[in-house]
Amino acid sequence: MSAAEHHHGLPKYRVVQYVVNPFSDFRVPVAVVVRHDSGETESIAAPHIPEPECLGNATAYAHIRALGPQLARLDSIDTLPEILGPHFTFGSIQHLPKNKAWRQWLLEVVLRRDVTASESAAKRAPRLSRVSRRLFASHGVDRLVQDNFRLPTPQGVLLEPVTHWADGGAIKLLMEPLSPKRTHPSKDMREAAGRLTIYRYHLDDAEKFKLVAYTLPGLEKSVKQDLRVAVAGIADVYDIADPEMESAFIKLVRQGSPPLVDA
Amino acid sequence: MRADSTRSSTAWKPTNVPAQNWLAPPPAIGLGCSVLDDLIVPVVHSRLTASPLKLAGSCRPEHVVGDDGREWVRKKHVDGLGVQISGEVVGALLATKLGIPIPEYATSERPRAWLSRWAPGSSPWSEAHNTDLVNEPDLGRILALDAVLLNTDRSARNILVTIDPEESSWRVSAIDFGMAGVSFPARFNIDRDRVLQRGPLPRSVPAHRVHEEAIECAHAAADLTSWTIKQVCAQACALSGNTMEATMAEVLEHRCRNAVRFVEGYFRHLAEPES
């Protein structure tokens, strides 16, 4: 059965998201617009908005709350009213699941999520840090690389961690991997680029840090290209599918790291 | 690196409304401030990186962040801003002089672009804001400046309403003076006595309630010195490459001197019932 046949007769829906941070692509679902087969549409506003502390942004919280009445009156699955402004965007068009009390499902499953819709898929996929560890292990530099580099902002808020880092004393190497084994490499790419961008702007002493993104073999060309554009001027990109670049990258990890104590 | 501005954005507070850090600073008044300070458009030298956020607009505006963490809306010359930067400069400098709320502004050189400070938590004008603005009188001042500059582009999108998270209240500010007649000096000269029509201004904007403030602002515009107007036009032409500085300044001064007449005429149009 084709996908079209499978979804025939099922109403479509689209999640309205609020972009809390355009650079990390952090969004929260704030409403759903449903279009029935008859062409009628209806809008369901999220019953719960994450607290300002969860959003990390009191303005975003106030903005979503203030526009709540507008969100409950959306009447198109194609375009959002201009009055909402650029913070509000549509997700992709989806079909409601068969054999479900869809309204309850939307309220309890789709709108209850407090992070972007792909989070559950990302959880099922192998963790980025684990997948890329094999690369380091195969070159004997596994012990030089640590997981999760975190940096507090001047306001004391911890930024989302960079996946890997190596401490070279004078220079810290911050690394973001991209793997074809993940469910949504494009989304991983956007998130990695967002993290690197944010760190680039929060690092007080930029000379003491080198930011790098590396792509593991098998990743789509388009994702690699998008990555290069997204982090241009922010981070160096190493394509591990290219033996020369792989060698240069491993050399960088070795140089950017102190010698092993027992080496 | 910060913009080369010596002005503080925290020194001024509009009436009864807490200051917000994305707003342009007030006119520089008092000891220690040069008269020139508010007639100079700051230049941002830091590297600007675009975010994926999509903004609407004919000049393909982008949401960007600088090395210092400040976020801006950038309109690049090559993306169609071109001579319209004249209007942006004149609008921004006169708005600052007249105490009209606009986002902080600057230019960048590589690429050449106009920068307007990103206002988080903002939306375009909608009917819902007809009764809930904390700075409604500023709406009158915005309309008065449009009448002087022959700005035909005051659509809902160009009236920014921004939430104040502490008070859950909205405040209005003006963006985008690029399409104002002043951007096109030859045409501006032909239209030197033209009264602005309603154009795309939403009917829900309560013009009848802000008439008095608009006229006050028109009087303030009429009192601007020739020197100030010439400095404003000199900045606009230097940044846009426009060669008709003398025409621009002469027509702008004419319209400022007669601002009350032009504002009265504009408000008469705004009071006309929908046909």
Which residue, among B2, B21, B22, B53, would best test binding to A if mutated, counting the most A CBs under 10 Å from its CB?
B53
Encode pLDDT of A108-167 as tens digits: 888 875 444 444 444 445 677 777 787 888 888 888 888 888 776 666 666 788 888 888
Mean pLDDT of chain A: 80
Tokens 């949401």 locate to: B63
Beta carbons of A171 and A210 less than 8 angstroms apart:
yes
Task: Look at B163 and A63 and tell me if their CB atoms are within 8 Å.
Answer: yes
Spell out which residues of chain A touch residue B54, defining contact as CB-CB under 8 Å. Answer: 86, 89
Is pLDDT of A205 > 80?
no
Task: With cut-offs at 50, 70 and 90, classify the pLDDT of residue A6.
Answer: low
Residue A40, amino acid: E
Query: How far apart are the C-alpha atoms of B39 and B89, rounded to whole Å?
Result: 10
Q: Using alpha carbons, list the distances in angstroms from residue B137 to B100, B206, B224.
A: 10, 10, 21
Beta carbons of B253 and B242 less than 8 angstroms apart:
no
Range name among A25-34, A103-112, A170-179, A214-223 with the lowest pLDDT average: A103-112
Side by side, which strands form the sheet with B113-117? B43-44, B105-108, B113-117, B71-76, B62-66, B48-54
For every residue of A206-254, DSSP letters joined together read GGGEEEEEEE-TT--HHHHHHHHHHTTTT-EEEETTSHHHHHHHHHHHH
Task: Look at A82 and B128 and tell me if their CB atoms are within 8 Å.
Answer: no
Q: Does B21 touch chain A (CB under 8 A)?
A: no
Q: Does B121 touch chain A (CB under 8 A)?
A: yes
More confident residue, A9 or A27: A27
Query: What is the mean predicted confidence (pLDDT) over A64-83?
Result: 86
Q: What is the pTM (predicted TM-score) of this model? A: 0.66
pLDDT at A152: 66
pLDDT at B10: 33
Is pLDDT of A176 > 60?
yes
Range name among A82-86, A173-177, A258-262 with the lowest pLDDT average: A258-262
Q: Does B137 touch chain A (CB under 8 A)?
A: no
Encode pLDDT of B84-119 as tens digits: 889 999 999 999 999 999 999 999 988 889 999 999
Task: Look at B120 and A58 and tell me if their CB atoms are within 8 Å.
Answer: no
pLDDT at A256: 61
Nearest to B55 among A86, A197, A202 (CB): A86
pLDDT at B84: 85
Spell out which residues of chain A touch residue B18, defining contact as CB-CB under 8 Å. Answer: none
Low-confidence ranges of chain B (pLDDT < 70): 1-22, 25-37, 79-83
Q: State the alpha helices, DSSP H only, in chain B.
A: 85-98, 136-149, 185-190, 211-222, 226-240, 245-257, 259-271
Spell out which residues of chain A touch residue B126, defining contact as CB-CB under 8 Å. Answer: 70, 83
Task: Look at B121 and A62 and tell me if their CB atoms are within 8 Å.
Answer: yes
Q: Which of B267, B273, B252, B257 is nearest to B214 (CA)?
A: B267
At CA A38, angle to CA A33 and CA A39, rounded to 5? 45
Task: Look at B164 and A60 and tell me if their CB atoms are within 8 Å.
Answer: no
CA A225 to chain CA centroid, Å, is 17
Q: Which of A232, A32, A18 is nearest to A115 (CA)?
A: A18
